[in-house]
Amino acid sequence: MAARDIMPWKSPLGGTYEVRWAAMTAGETFEVGEVVGIVDAGTLSEMPADTTELLIADTDGGLGGIAAYGPGAGNIDPDTGAAMATGAMVPYWPWNQGTLFITSNFKSDAAAAVVVPALTDIGESYEISYSNATVPLGWGIDQTNAAVATEVCARIVDVLDAGYVSINEPHSDGTGVYLVFEITLQV
């Protein structure tokens, strides 16, 4: 588990904090900021935390998003005051809705080291994957071009420095740290 790997982002470029709810699948342990999908049973499940890219087929019709809350780390169900159980309603920020997200987890492939984001990454559509690298990076973006109609895509809209300033701005230090992106089902 890697809490807060990917979070929603609102900036002058856009973004929203739309939240949807779905019933939780049995035995889930995801945290806020982890990738979740609606599966064939119609419930919300954590996506495969392996080093492969996130596939549309991992979900039911490509429905999913980023968990806004989750059952991991002993979180309590706010509706019951007890541990979260199968069927508990869980909020998530949906993808493919124009929502912007932010992450600092960027790598050259899911098992490799961190990559420094650059201006040339803006406009690219990359894969989303979970990294099991030597230093676990968790959910993030893999600097590999995403496959149309097969993979869930991260379309990069901006690169920010450590102070959350676009590296396109004259007062930025010019060193990329964060990627701002939209999660889509097409390039």
> Domain residues of the chain, as ranges?
100-184
**Residue 74: φ, ψ to 5°:** 70, 20
pTM of the model: 0.89
CA angle, 123 as apex, 121 and 128 as ends, to 5°?
A: 70
Q: Please, is 129 exposed, middle or buried when counting C-beta atoms within 10 Å of its C-beta (0-12, 13-18, 19+)? A: buried
Low-confidence ranges of the chain (pLDDT < 50): 1
Q: What are the residues facing 102 on neighbouring strands?
A: 7, 180
Q: What stretch of H or E contains 171? A: none
Alpha carbon separation from 135 to 51, 61, 132 (Å, rounded): 13, 33, 7
100-144 confidence digits (pLDDT tens): 999 999 988 756 678 899 999 999 999 999 887 666 678 999 998
Q: What is the pLDDT of residue 127?
A: 93
Q: What is the pLDDT of residue 1?
A: 43
d(CA 102, CA 182): 9
Strands (E) across 32-169 are located at 35-38, 44-46, 64-67, 89-94, 100-103, 106-107, 125-131, 138-145, 153-160
Q: What is the pLDDT of residue 43?
A: 93
Q: What is the pLDDT of residue 119?
A: 94
Are the C-beta atoms of residues 62 and 166 closer than 8 Å to each other?
A: no
Q: Please, is 17 exposed, middle or buried when counting C-beta atoms within 10 Å of its C-beta (0-12, 13-18, 19+)? A: exposed
